[in-house]
Amino acid sequence: MAIKFLRTKRSRIIAAAITIPVVLLLIAALVINRYWSPILAGKLRDAVIKGSDSLYRADFSDAQLHILQGKIMLYNVSLTPDTDVYRRRIKRGTAPNNLVKFNARRIIVSEIHPFKLYFSKVIDVGRIAINSPHIQVSYQLNHTKDTTDKDHRTAWQKLSKNFKSAHVGNIFLDNISFKYDDYSGNKVEVSEIKQMSLHANDLLIDSTTQTDRSRLLYCKNIIADIKNYAGRSADGLYRYSFKRLKLSTAISQLHVTGFKLDPVDVDAFFAKSNKDRMTVELDSIQLNNFDFLSYQKYRSLTASSLMIKGGMFDVFNAPNKLPTKKDKLENFPHVALRKLKTDLIIDTVQIKHLDVTYNEIGKKSKKTGTLSFNNTNATFLNLTTNPNALKKDSIATAEVNSMFMGQGKLNISFRFNLQARNAPYSYKGHLGAMPLEAMNKATMAFAMVKITDGTLKSYDFNVYGDATRAHGNIALLYNDVKVRLLRVGDSQMYSRKLIPTLFANLFILKHNNPDKPGEAPRVFKVAFKRPKDFSFFKTQWRVMLSGLKPTIGLDAKTEQAVTKRMADMKQKKDDRAKKKKDQALKKKHKYPYGA
């Protein structure tokens, strides 16, 4: 039937009427493809030079326009900065902070709608795909705000003379190789990322989106995804890594999972460094309402909240610290914050389920003592270095709760002055009931004392401090305390000081506070002058210790008296032994052959 139809004259006319235009269209498409491809290439090169004010140049080995497929393909694409132009801009003070190099084997622009472009003056592209691009960014802080005279018209206002709108459905960059060179410090810091992808969705430039603040670079959403990133610190002492980092501009959220900061082993670390050794593992870090553009351009970090969930933070106080005149005040949290080069504004920082430990080697015991704060939860408010924000409110606060030594519930409220030069701070807190034996991980190494019995009923403290000193009140309520005084023998093992232990338990220690039911408890005032080489954590531990000792009867005066009493007892023992030896010698000389 079909064959008969094609044999008729009318059918041949109809077939020709259909075929000839198609053939002509194909021929026209081939001509356009061949003729317009080099024109397109030239137009793109000129557009990059003009758009960047001659700072960047674009190049590619081939450009193909497939009019029927609605596709443009660019091969061996590169974008390189003109260094001469960049140097001239630096001298004029108009150079950008970021300089970019880019190359890709192929860029495919597909699902182009030429009829919309021709008849409706609408640019409509379904997809742009860039495979395995190499991107290198060099950062140098040339300015902290825009210095060039800009054309303040929106992108749509610039396009509107020729087009009604421009739309790209999806932009994909997969398997990105990214290198970042940071020249802002004393040394160049180089970071490289291998497993990275980028997806931009619904890029739209028209009259409705020109002032739409919910869009970044006119895109409804930009998602950056980095997996299995790792690197080393410049000194080689730390390895840092994370399993995944994901940035979404639609919700202004940065989310990191599986972050780790791992130092080399203890011996290797302290062979090369006399700084404190830190180990950090964080299950989840989330930054909300993160202003990515400000961070990318000026290194200013603005966010409504930072959420940290799960993990551990371990500090090992360096045992090999050299005598130094350098003040460790810079390690105080509010002073360290003030010294950040980043313009920082974070309204709220929340920490949940974090295990914190502090380790130090005791001077006398030469053994490691540990203070632990398990399942720590904290809320920090008003963390900022921004001058305008500090004028409004210069006080940062923190509410912290934790299980001290895994046994006692601890609640502390902190206040930090972020502006005053003498770095004032204050805190008050309450520690609930716990067995005092749990303190032995700290007291044995730090104080050469083992607590063999006793119950803590409560511990309340209120401390005010600054760069040079700390003072306050401490109230420790407890029952039935008994201790064992220790020494370290030649075998480097703890052993009991029998006589001093009996003496301490019988005559020195105050076994209860209050001494008797119904009596007022002993409350002690503490005053501690901070040595310059004491960090914040070490300072507060010593403040607490200076109040604990007198509470249980080991104040400085008593310790001196005990030391003198012990020395007198030892001297009398030595005198008796010498007298006995002298008597034996006299007897031997008097009766050389026996009695």
Domain limits of the chain?
Answer: 7-33, 36-232, 555-595
Q: Hey, which residues does 100 pair with through a beta bridge?
A: 137
Q: How far is CA 470 from CA 530, 541, 550, in A?
A: 7, 11, 17
Query: What Å distances lie between residue 183 and 4, 63, 140, 186, 237, CA to CA?
Result: 79, 36, 5, 8, 22
Contacts of 42 (CB under 8 A, 6+ apart): none
Give 481-531 as a DSSP string. EEEEEEEE-TTS-EEE-HHHHHHIIIII----BSSSTTSPPPEEEEEEEPP
Distance between CA atoms of 3 and 177, rounded to whole angstroms? 59
* pLDDT at site 144: 61
Query: How far does CA 240 lie from the centroid of its chain?
Result: 11
pLDDT at 469: 94
Q: How far is CA 578 from CA 18, 582, 585, in A?
A: 129, 6, 11
Answer yes or no: pTM beyond 0.85: no
Angle between helices 556-590 and 536-551 (to 10 degrees): 70
Confidence of residue 548 (pLDDT cuts 50, 70, 90): confident
More confident residue, 513 or 536: 536
Do you know the residue count of the chain?
A: 595
What per-residue confidence (pLDDT) applies to 295?
Answer: 83
Distance of alpha carbon 570 from its chain centroid, rounded?
Answer: 55
- Residues 383-409 have a mean pLDDT of 95
Provide Rg for the chain, Cα atoms. Answer: 37
More confident residue, 213 or 288: 288
For residues 319 and 282, is the Cβ–Cβ distance under 8 A?
Answer: no
What is the spatial distance between Cα 383 and Cα 338, in angstroms, rounded to a whole number? 10
Give 97-132 as a 3 state SS string: CEEEEEEEEEEEEEEECHHHHHHHCEEEEEEEEEEC
Sequence-separated (6 or more) residues with CB below 8 Å from residue 44: 58, 60, 63, 74
* Higher pLDDT among residues 322 and 338, named by residue: 338
Tell me, what's the pLDDT at 322? 72
Residue 401 pLDDT > 90? yes
User: Tokens 């011996």 correspond to what residue?
Assistant: 267
Q: What is the mean pLDDT of the chain?
A: 81
pLDDT of 287 strictly over 90: yes
Distance CA 428, CA 413 (A): 6
Cα–Cα distances (Å) from 380 to 61, 149, 352, 395, 418, in that order, read 55, 40, 12, 11, 13
Looking up tokens 């004259």 gives 9
Indicate the pLDDT class of residue 4, thresholds 50, 70 and 90. Answer: very low
Q: Are 364 and 378 in contact (CB under 8 A)?
A: no
More confident residue, 479 or 351: 351
Q: Answer for the pair 454, 479: CB distance below 8 angstroms, yes or no.
A: yes
Whether residue 585 has pLDDT greater than 80: no
**Residue 559 confidence (pLDDT):** 61
Contact status, residue 366 vs residue 492, Cβ threshold 8 Å: yes
Tokens read off for 453: 């019995």
The residue among 570 and 220 whose pLDDT is bigger is 220
Token pair in block for residue 334: 């509010």
Q: Which region among 204-213, 337-346, 461-470 has the lowest average model confidence (pLDDT)? A: 204-213
- Contacts of 487 by beta carbon, 8 Å cutoff, 6+ apart: 448, 494, 495, 497
Cα distance between residue 121 and residue 165, in whole Å: 8
For residue 36, the model assigns a pLDDT of 46
Which amino acid, one-letter code, is at 161? K
Cβ-proximal residues to 74 (8 Å cutoff; 6+ apart), any chain: 44, 60, 62, 63, 64, 106, 107, 109
Q: Tell me how far CA of residue 306 lies from CA of 255, 284, 350, 382, in angstroms.
A: 10, 10, 6, 12
Residue 140 pLDDT: 80
Is there a cis peptide before residue 531, judged by omega within 30 degrees of 0?
Answer: no
Query: What was the pLDDT predicted at 32?
Result: 39
Give the count of beta carbons closer than 10 Å to the beta carbon of residue 119. 9
pLDDT band at 151, cuts 50/70/90?
A: low
**Predicted confidence (pLDDT) per residue in 97-129, tens digit:** 888 888 888 888 888 887 787 788 888 888 989
Band (pLDDT 50/70/90 cuts) for residue 150 is low
And the tokens for 344?
């920082």
Closest to 484 measured CA to CA, from 516, 547, 556, 436? 436
Q: pLDDT tens for residues 17-64? A: 443 333 333 433 433 344 444 555 566 667 667 767 778 888 888 877
Average the pLDDT over 383-396 and give the result. 94
What one-letter code names the amino acid at 273?
A: S
What SS3 state is found at 186? coil
Provide the pLDDT for residue 33: 44
What are the tokens at 372?
């632990």
Specify whether the CB–CB gap between 97 and 85 falls below 8 A. Answer: no
For the cut 60, the answer to whether the pLDDT of residue 505 exceeds it is no
Give residue-wise pLDDT tens across range 326-376: 888 888 999 999 988 889 999 999 999 999 999 988 888 888 899 999 999
Q: How far apart are CA 361 and CA 276, in angstroms?
A: 12
- What pLDDT does residue 170 have? 92
Percent over 70 (pLDDT), the chain: 82
How many other C-beta atoms can be found within 10 angstroms of the C-beta atom of residue 463? 23
Q: How confident is the model at residue 581 (pLDDT cuts 50, 70, 90)?
A: confident
Among 240, 248, 333, 334, which residue's Cα sits nearest to residue 286? Answer: 248
> 92 Cβ partners below 8 Å, 6+ apart?
none
How many helices (H) and strands (E) in the chain? 13, 23
285, containing H or E segment? strand 277-288
Q: How far is CA 187 from the centre of its chain?
A: 20
What pLDDT does residue 464 have? 96
Confidence band of 430 (pLDDT split at 50, 70, 90): very high
Q: Which residues, in sequence order, are bridge partners of residue 355?
A: 312
